[in-house]
Amino acid sequence: MKRASIFAFLLFTSVALFAQDKLAILPFSSSGLDQLSVQTAESMLRLEITKISTMSLFTEKQIKNAIGEESCDDIQCAVDAGKYLNTDQVFFCKMNPLGEKIIVQYYLIDIPSGKNLLVEQTTALSMEDLENVMKRVAKSIVNVKPFAESVEVGNVTETESIESLRRASRYNFGLTFGYLFPQSGYDDDKDKSFIFNLHFDYELPDYAVGLMLGIRHGFAMNVYGEYLITKTDVCPYIGGAFGFHWVAHEDFLFNEEKTGDGFELTLNGGLRLFHTYNFQVVLNFEYIMTFNDYNDKAFVFTIGIL
Q: Is residue 72 a contact partner of residue 78, using CB atoms and an 8 Å limit?
A: yes
Nearest to 293 by CA among 272, 271, 253, 263: 263
* Euclidean distance between CA atoms 176 and 171, whole angstroms: 16
Amino acid in the structure at residue 8: A
214-224: b or e for each residue (b if 16 or more CB lie within 10 Å)?
bebbbebebeb
How does pLDDT run across 161-206, given as a tens digit for each residue? 555 544 445 788 999 999 999 998 888 888 899 999 999 999 887 8
Bridging pattern class, strands 101-110 and 115-124:
antiparallel
Burial class (CB in 10 A: 0-12, 13-18, 19+), 100: exposed
Beta-carbon contacts of residue 24 (< 8 Å; ≥ 6 apart): 57, 58, 62, 63, 66, 81, 82, 85, 87, 89, 90, 91
* Euclidean distance between CA atoms 241 and 156, whole angstroms: 30
Q: Is residue 167 a contact partner of residue 161, using CB atoms and an 8 Å limit?
A: yes
Distances in Å between the Cα of 278 and the Cα atoms of 173, 234, 306 are 11, 14, 8
* Euclidean distance between CA atoms 198 and 52, whole angstroms: 39
Q: What are phi and psi of 154, to 5 degrees?
A: 85, 0
Q: Is residue 299 a contact partner of residue 183, using CB atoms and an 8 Å limit?
A: yes
pTM here? 0.52
Q: What is the pLDDT of residue 13?
A: 41
Q: Is residue 109 a contact partner of residue 89, using CB atoms and an 8 Å limit?
A: yes
Q: What is the pLDDT of residue 158?
A: 63
Nearest to 41 by CA among 146, 151, 133, 159: 133
Element (H, E) at 136: helix 130-143
Q: What is the pLDDT of residue 161?
A: 58
Dihedral of alpha carbons 5, 10, 12, 13, sign? positive
Nearest to 236 by CA among 266, 282, 284, 270: 270
For the chain, domains (ranges, CATH) are: 20-163 (3.40.50.10070), 171-305 (2.40.160.20)
Digitized pLDDT (tens) for each residue of the chain, 306 residues in all: 444 444 444 444 443 333 347 899 999 998 888 889 899 999 999 999 999 988 889 988 888 888 887 788 888 888 999 999 999 899 999 999 988 889 999 999 999 888 899 999 998 888 888 888 999 999 999 999 998 887 766 566 666 655 554 444 578 899 999 999 999 888 888 889 999 999 999 988 788 999 999 999 889 999 999 999 988 889 999 999 999 999 988 766 566 667 788 899 999 999 999 887 778 999 999 999 999 888 899 999 999 999
Question: Three-state SS for 227?
Answer: strand
Q: What are phi and psi of 113, to 5 degrees?
A: -95, -20
